[in-house]
Amino acid sequence: MSKKILVVDDDVDLVETIVQALSYHGFETDKAHSGKDGLQKILSFRPDLVVLDVMMESDTAGFEVVNQLRNTKTESRFSEVSDVPVILLTAINQVTNSRFSLNEAQSFLPEISDFITKPFKIDELIARIKTISEGGA
């Protein structure tokens, strides 16, 4: 059975490029173009991994998705999917000219599996997805 990957980004062209590449590599895919839609797709699609943009309908939409997803309270509607690995896509260093690192993200976003700075090479994203998917990170 192929791994299921959800791609959430408001850049429609980028999402299509990622989805096509993932499909070529044997992944089952679904997509969303906002944090709100991404949360709904996480519940309905039940992905094995989420590729998530940080800045969508707001500058912090991706962070908000992760915070809701990682909510471990038993009454959370995400409790059954709270451990899904997340790869963040970010252009933060380009927009703010500041550096963004996984260590910085971990201080307020628990359990981010990886992050990739935009622009990126699709082969790099595929390699990181495969590493996380195969390693169970």
Tens digit of each residue's pLDDT (9 = 90 or more) over 21-55: 999 999 999 999 999 999 999 999 999 999 999 99
Question: What residue spans define the domains of the chain?
Answer: 4-135
Amino acid at 32: A
3-state class (DSSP) for residue 8: strand
| pLDDT class of 57 with cuts at 50, 70, 90 | very high
Tokens 């700075």, residue located: 117
State the CATH class of domain 4-135.
Answer: alpha beta
More confident call, 44 vs 104: 44
Tens digit of each residue's pLDDT (9 = 90 or more) over 75-96: 889 989 999 999 999 886 544 4
CA 121 vs CA 36, 67, 77, 90, 125: distances in Å: 27, 27, 34, 13, 7
- As a 3-state breakdown, the chain gives helix, strand, coil percent values, each rounded to 5, of 45, 20, 40
pLDDT, mean of residues 121-128: 96
pTM as predicted: 0.87
